[in-house]
Amino acid sequence: MKTSRKSLTEIQQGSPEASEKNLPKAQQRDSAGLIAGGIAHDLNTILTLIYGYSELALEGLDPAGENYRNIKKIIQSADRAKAITGQLLSNDREPDQARMKVPVRDALRETLEFLRPLVTDRIIFREEILAHDVCVSANPVQLYRVFLNLARNAIQAMEAGGGTLTVTLDTRNGDDVSTLPDGKQAADEYAVIRFADTGPGMDGTTASRMFEPFFTTGKQNLGTGLGLSVVSEIISSAGGVITVTSKKGRGTVIELLIPSHG
């Protein structure tokens, strides 16, 4: 089987930062900060509208009714987006301080539950939960964001022809992990989260670049292409690894290994 397999370290070695060697680091950070601030400003205005009209829509509704619950979910989604724009604007991102023990199964199920009403009947979700109690040390908002980005990517890959997204949760002993970057010490145990789609798959070039900031094939509706680069950063900061296996015509499998906690 012809595959394109990249470790996180290999993906990061191809990042734009490495190609902008002539720019002072401080200038690169300032530019990135300007972009992030501008995006966050516009997003925060839009979020205020979402909150405002949701609030108006709730007036007069029966709290036990379906419409009330659906609008509450809109507000919950806006809360998550608010947390993300807050991170964009934060000059002192200290992700370690915001970490906690997060049950992975719950985060995965919440992601799929959020996405289920948004997809057509041609796209099927399958869950394979083989490790029900595994937890990781992570910021729950960031973890949700990772799962959401990967699931959305898979869904978008299958939009044209339909297909199945299989989400698997399992554990793996640290001794059995062979994809760690050189010099990185293995944890005792890892949570293994796999997103497998039956979409068209990717060629080697696309697979190797998919986690680069601003990279987009143009076929996706991912806006600026920041989503997957943020995914790789979040997983890396959690001590984890991402591997991508893809073949044209055979779909894509993205596997996350994150040290388990507790």
Nearest CB to another protein, comparing residues 42 and 96: 42
CA 97, CA 5: separation in Å to the nearest integer? 33
> What is the pattern of x (binds another protein, CB under 8 A) and - over residues 32-71?
-xx--xx-xxxxxx-xxxxxxx-xx---------------
Q: Least distance to another protein from the beta carbon of 68, Å? A: 16
> Exposure of 151 by Cβ count < 10 A (0-12 exposed, 13-18 middle, 19+ buried)?
buried
Q: Least distance to another protein from the beta carbon of 70, Å? A: 18
Neighbour tally for 156: CB within 10 Å: 16
Nearest CB to another protein, comparing residues 59 and 176: 59
Residues near another protein (CB under 8 A), total: 26
Q: Least distance to another protein from the beta carbon of 43, Å? A: 8
Nearest CB to another protein, comparing residues 19 and 76: 76
Nearest CB to another protein, comparing residues 51 and 114: 51
Nearest CB to another protein, comparing residues 11 and 40: 40
Nearest CB to another protein, comparing residues 84 and 222: 84
Asked whether position 27 contacts another protein by CB under 8 A, the answer is no
Touching another protein, residues 152-181 (CB under 8 A) = none
Touching another protein, residues 82-101 (CB under 8 A) = 82, 85, 88-91
Closest C-alpha to 154, from 139, 175, 168, 173: 168
Q: Least distance to another protein from the beta carbon of 79, Å? A: 9
CA 130, CA 229: separation in Å to the nearest integer? 28
Nearest CB to another protein, comparing residues 40 and 154: 40
DSSP strands (E only) in 71-199 = 100-103, 123-129, 135-138, 163-173, 189-197
Q: Least distance to another protein from the beta carbon of 40, Å? A: 4
Q: Least distance to another protein from the beta carbon of 48, Å? A: 4
CA 154, CA 157: separation in Å to the nearest integer? 5
Contacts of 28 (CB under 8 A, 6+ apart): 17, 20
Q: Least distance to another protein from the beta carbon of 81, Å? A: 8
Tell me how far CA of residue 228 lies from CA of 51, 56, 88, 208, in angstroms: 27, 34, 15, 12
* DSSP secondary structure letter of residue 6: B
CA 51, CA 37: separation in Å to the nearest integer? 21
Residue 28 Cα to chain centre, angstroms: 24
Residues that bind another protein (CB under 8 A): 33-34, 37-38, 40-45, 47-53, 55-56, 78, 82, 85, 88-91
